[in-house]
Amino acid sequence: MAIPHAIPYQGSKRQLAEKIAPFIPSEIGRFIEPFAGSGALSLYMAYHNKANHFILNDINAPLMHLWDAILTNPHQLAEQYATLWHHQLGRERRYYDLVRLRFNKSHAPYYLLYLLARCVKASVRYNNDGEFNQSPDNRRKGKHPQTMKHDLLQTSALLRDKTRLYNQDYARILKLATPHDLVYLDPPYAGLAQKKTSRYIQTIDQSRFIQQLEWLNHAQIPFILSYDGKTGRTHFQKDLPVSLNLTHVELDAGRSSQQTLLGNHQITYESLYLSPALLDRLPSDLIQPKQLSLFEGIA
């Protein structure tokens, strides 16, 4: 069985999970994702039996209702998705618009699943009134119902009895963590936030975010932060104070599909920042000397 991914989600760490996992200590209490999205890291951890308890949280309420439906009633969700998928055939564009309209009225999880499976780049976009306004990808019909059913059932089997779901601001979830847990933070990119993107319901305030990281350090709670990326010479970098004492690791994330489409075959690098409490729990030979930049924050 491959790792299931029922929720198509732009920004998912699905492709990177394998490269992030070595930085997660072998014995952890709970694996906590305050910015869960599609929870790709949690799925990786559950699949490889690397954690037994999970907390998934996201500010996006319909997304967390979808998670709830996946964990508690995947069979019904699979049937609802299959009904939508079959009903669309022959009138895909009009049907997408109809489902989007219905979703904006009801926020029903099955509508969101269908929209994510069909929309451009699986990218969640809302207008200023909080309505989902992403367009369909007219080249695709969305994941076939059989495959979706398989992914939904497997996701549920992996996480059902081990996971607590929340729909809160991330800062409230951090207060649940203890030094035995591992917090994985994957906030929206600040570069996009500055452009006032409507990709996410809410973007984060950077100075408040840094205060939260300081608190995690103070409480000796280990965390991993996915924080920026660069493709070729384009840098999405943000300031992290030196005083946070984070270790910066660059992960080779392969070729950016967007750049490949534009004819550029550049490699994307993704930055991880490891907290001091985490470093104490990792084997000392894990961090290569050239990756080690303990005191090299970005001023």
Q: With binding defined as CB under 6 A, does residue 151 bind ligand SAM?
A: no
**Which residue do the tokens 């198509």 mark?**
8
Q: Determine the interface stretch with ligand SAM among 35-43, 72-80, 104-112, 235-243 (rule: CB under 6 A).
A: 35-43
Candidate ranges 32-40, 45-53, 101-109, 112-120; the one touching ligand SAM (CB under 6 A): 32-40
Q: Which stretch binds ligand SAM (CB under 6 A): 52-60, 102-110, 235-243, 253-261?
A: 52-60
Identify the CA nearest to 56 among candidates 206, 160, 138, 201: 160
Q: Per rule CB under 6 A, is residue 163 in the interface with ligand SAM?
A: no
How many whole angstroms from its chain centre is CA 158?
17
- Asked if 285 contacts 226 with a C-beta cutoff of 8 angstroms, the reply is no
Contact 110, 80 (CB under 8 A): yes
Q: Would you count residue 38 as binding ligand SAM (CB under 6 A)?
A: yes
Helices 74-88 and 109-118, axial angle in degrees (round to 10): 50
Q: Does residue 155 touch ligand SAM according to CB under 6 A?
A: no
The Cα 263–Cα 275 span in angstroms is 37
Q: Is 166 in the site for ligand SAM (CB under 6 A)?
A: no
Residue with tokens 């930049």: 293
221 vs 165: CA distance, rounded Å: 20
Please tell me whether residue 37 binds ligand SAM under the rule CB under 6 A: yes
Indicate the residue whose CB is closest to ligand SAM.
Answer: 37
Shortest Å distance, C-beta 196 to ligand SAM: 14
Residue 4 as a binder of ligand SAM (CB under 6 A): the answer is no
Q: Minimum Å distance from CB 278 to ligand SAM?
A: 17
Q: Report the 10 Å Cβ neighbour count for 152.
A: 25
Q: Which is nearer to ligand SAM, 96 or 189 (CB)?
A: 189
Which residues, 6+ apart, have CB-to-CB distance to 279 below 8 Å? 247, 287
Strand partners, 185: 225
52 part of the interface to ligand SAM, by CB under 6 A: no
DSSP state of 283: -
The least CB distance from residue 201 to ligand SAM, in Å, is: 6
Nearer to ligand SAM (CB atom), residue 86 or residue 196: 196
Structural contact between residues 150 and 104, judged by C-beta atoms closer than 8 angstroms: no
Element (H, E) at 200: none
Q: Is 62 an interacting residue with respect to ligand SAM (CB under 6 A)?
A: no
Q: Between residue 169 and residue 228, which ones bind ligand SAM under the rule CB under 6 A?
A: 169-170, 186-188, 200-202, 204
Pick the binder of ligand SAM from 32, 40, 77, 165 (CB under 6 A): 40
**How would you classify residue 228: left for phi > 0, otherwise alpha for psi between -120 and 50, otherwise beta?**
beta
Q: Is 59 in the site for ligand SAM (CB under 6 A)?
A: yes
Q: Which is nearer to ligand SAM, 68 or 79 (CB)?
A: 68
Closest CA to 17 of 63, 48, 53: 48
Contact residues: ligand SAM, CB under 6 A: 9, 11-13, 34-35, 37-38, 40, 58-60, 169-170, 186-188, 200-202, 204
